[in-house]
Amino acid sequence: MGTVNTRFVLITETNSLFGYEFLHRLLADERSNLAAVVTRAPGVLCDYYLDDDVQVDVATEARQNGVDVYQPENPNASEIVEAMRALAPDYIIVANYQLQVGRELRDVPAVDILNFHPSPLPRYAGLAPYYWMAQNHEAQGGVSAIRMSAGLDDGPLIAQQLLSLRGDETPDEVRASLSVRLVVSHSV
């Protein structure tokens, strides 16, 4: 029995701790071949992470591990879509990316495009789920894996990992709790 070599592309924000964890898990998994990382254009950072004590740089880390990095202004530009097609990924993983992924890019992977969202979908779809969970004093958070569709965080749910919250966390505390539990049990 041979080793499975599933080919992935990761799409995430450059300074996303959530995406950084996915990068490291894909690099560490001997069954995975991380073909490329797509992040935002140089200098564009996700404001969720700007004040964190620990700063990450997904693009630099990927390059240091021999992974091709694309940093387009528009991830749906024809040259990016064609570059992704040429990589022939089995899966595209989207983890904390604040631009919409268009149909042509969603159609690239041979198997599927999966979005990992830091909330118990369908609740808190869209931007700033940490803020809204803290604002609403939620007692339960979660990380959801969905098949990406045309809508915002509304694709079919594949897996979900729920976790208890106290209900008095700040948005940063909610984010930290969810980042620690980002792995959703899903076999690819």
| Average pLDDT, rounded, for the chain | 87
Quote the Cα angle for 35-38-44, to 5°.
Answer: 155
- Residue 179 banded pLDDT, cuts 50, 70, 90: low
Number of domains in the chain: 2
Nearest C-alpha neighbor of 16 from the set 53, 47, 60: 47
pLDDT tens per residue, range 85-124 = 999 999 999 998 888 999 999 999 999 999 998 888 899 8
Q: Determine how β-strand 157-164 pairs with β-strand 68-70.
A: unpaired
According to the model, what pLDDT value does residue 180 have?
55
Q: In this structure, are 97 and 124 located in the same domain?
A: no
Kindly state the percentage of the chain with pLDDT values over 70: 90
Same domain, yes or no, for 90 and 134? no
Domain that holds residue 92: 6-110
Whether 128 and 183 share a structural domain: yes
The enclosing domain of 97 has a CATH number of 3.40.50.170
Does some domain include residue 101? yes
Q: What is the pLDDT at residue 56?
A: 84
Residues 137 and 78 in one domain: no
Identify whether 176 is part of a domain: yes
